[in-house]
Amino acid sequence: MAMGQSAAAPCANCLAWNRPQTPFRIFGNTYYVGPHGLSTILITSTSGHVLIDGALPESTEQIVANIRSLGFRIEDVKLILNSHVHFDHAGGIAELQRLSGARVMASKWSAAVMRKGGVGRGDPQFGALRPIAPLKNVSELRDGESFQVGAIAVTAHLTPGHTPGGTSWTWKSCEARTCRDMVYADSLTPVSSAGFRFSKNREYPGALEDFEKAFVFLEAVPCDVLVTTHPENSDLWDRLQARDEGATPDPMVDSGACRRLALRGREQLRRRLADEAVPERP
Ligand SMILES: [Zn+2]
């Protein structure tokens, strides 16, 4: 969601996105370790951890300190995953990989961007984004592929549209005997550079089919606890506050959240396509 920014332009939202956030347990072995405005998720096990998303390059120090303040170590992160390769979610990954030595896995499209350090023409926001630090060592994943780190099994689901390589993630986290279906959903917003059309585009001809695939996934996935790339899009701060105030049942758990996110995504796309259908004035 970084419209109107480029390498030359300052990032209007970055300061707000990068505001410090005390890390906290979301559920079981799943923790929030990102800055306040950009999610970074830590899933822990006794034999290594998984990290999803790296926020901004300037978020790295915070993420590392947050992991440490929870009693874990960046050096024990074995696998780093990503939602989509815009600088506000992937900007810190190169440095986090250097500090941890972790394997980085990404969709084919996202992996190509990571190697190159910037998005190509198929990206709706091409030309309006800060570049990211290139990664030498990134492997490609397949839709539905699962990755094991210790007792953690995390599964990749391609949910493209916001970018052609967008990926959402699922895993299970348990507290005592209660296990929850965790979902980390990628951005679904049809945001673009000026002039880009989702309805008809030579550089991204499959955009609408891709969005549909993402919506269908979210409508069907078992979903107890949802976290989104931008935490407020899944009301994370309201849920956290309610939980801190002692609300029961646990406000983090909301099995309708993924379906509602899909519904909102469909509505945003519908409005965007309606705008695109209005003929441009001469
Ligand atoms: Zn984005």
Ion ligand 1, residue ranges at CB < 5 A:
86
pLDDT at residue 22 greater than cutoff 90: yes
* Ligand 1 centroid to residue 46 C-alpha, Å: 33
Cα torsion 143, 122, 228, 271: sign: negative
Asked whether 11 and 4 are in contact (CB, 8 A), the reply is no
Q: How many angstroms is it from 162 CA to the middle of ligand 1?
A: 7
Q: Give per-residue pLDDT as tens, 113-126.
A: 999 998 888 999 99
- Secondary structure (DSSP) of 166-185: -EEEEEEEEETTEEEEEEEE
* Predicted pLDDT at 171: 98
CA of 131 to the centre of ligand 1 (A): 12
Q: What distance in Å separates the CA atoms of residue 121 and residue 79, rounded to the nearest whole number?
A: 28
The answer on pLDDT for 2 being more than 50 is no
For residue 74, what are the contacts with CB-CB under 8 A and spacing of at least 6?
A: 63, 64, 67, 68, 96, 99, 100
- Average pLDDT of the residues of the chain: 94
Per-residue pLDDT averaged across 119-148, rounded? 93
Report the pLDDT value the prediction gives residue 51, as an integer from 0 to 100: 98
Question: What distance in Å separates the CA atoms of residue 148 and residue 154, rounded to the nearest whole number?
Answer: 7
| Residues 115, 82 contacting (CB under 8 angstroms) | no
Q: How confident is the model at residue 280 (pLDDT cuts 50, 70, 90)?
A: low
pLDDT of 15 above 70: yes
Distance of CA 186 from the midpoint of ligand 1 (Å): 9
Rounded to 10°, the helix 93-100/60-69 angle is: 50
Could you tell me the distance, in angstroms and rounded to a whole number, from the CA of residue 3 to the centre of ligand 1?
A: 8
Q: What separation in Å is there between the alpha carbon of 205 and the centre of ligand 1?
A: 19
Q: Is pLDDT of 281 > 50?
A: yes
**Ligand 1 centroid – CA 90 distance (Å):** 10
Distance (angstroms) between ligand 1 centre and the Cα of 167 equals: 12
User: Does residue 29 surpass a pLDDT of 70?
Assistant: yes
Cα angle, residue 154 at apex, residues 148 and 159 outer, rounded to 5°? 140
Question: Average pLDDT for residues 2-7, to the nearest whole number?
Answer: 44
> Residue 162: is its pLDDT beyond 80?
yes
Query: Tell me, what's the pLDDT at 61?
Result: 98
Query: Average pLDDT for residues 166-172, to the nearest whole number?
Result: 98
Look up the pTM and report it: 0.95
- The four Cα atoms 58, 28, 79, 181 give a dihedral, to 10 degrees, of -110
The percentage of the chain sitting over the pLDDT mark of 90, rounded to a whole number, equals: 90
Q: 246: left (phi > 0), else alpha (psi -120 to 50), else beta?
A: left
**Residues 23, 66: contact at Cβ < 8 Å?**
yes
